[in-house]
Amino acid sequence: MSSEYIIGRNPVIEALRAGRDINKILVAEGSARGQVHVVLALGIENEVILQHAPKKKLDQLVEGNHQGVIAQVAAYQYAELEDLFKLAEKRNEDPFF
């Protein structure tokens, strides 16, 4: 399964608050200001690996303004259609897609 990235301070904060599975958070060296403190605190609270890295490394990973914060997350796991029908049957519900 490949990795995906959540980019920026607020999106990473919201992902942490929502309980999204995050493998690692990369924080640019020297960017421990403002909302980055919230990212670090939530990362520790959620037992996520926190790694400081040069800004250049973050720039190489993603395009655009990462605000010094990138979260590496596992890609979503997709369900098979047959499994969804079984789940609906188990719940005595009509399948709705």
Measured at the CA of 70, the angle between CA 61 and CA 47, to 5 degrees, comes to 130
The lowest-confidence range among 21-30, 52-61, 75-84 is: 75-84
Residue 97: inside a domain? no
Q: State the amino acid at position 26 in one-letter form.
A: L
Residue 57: inside a domain? yes
pLDDT at res. 80 = 87
Half-sphere exposure in the Cβ direction for 2 (13 Å, CA):
2
pLDDT at res. 1 = 42
Query: What does the DSSP assignment read for 26-45?
Result: EEETT--STTHHHHHHHHHH
List pLDDT tens digits, range 44-78.
999 999 999 999 999 999 988 999 999 999 777 77
- Domain extent for 15: 3-90
Counted domains in the chain: 1
Residue 96: inside a domain? no
Residue 51: inside a domain? yes
Residue 30: inside a domain? yes
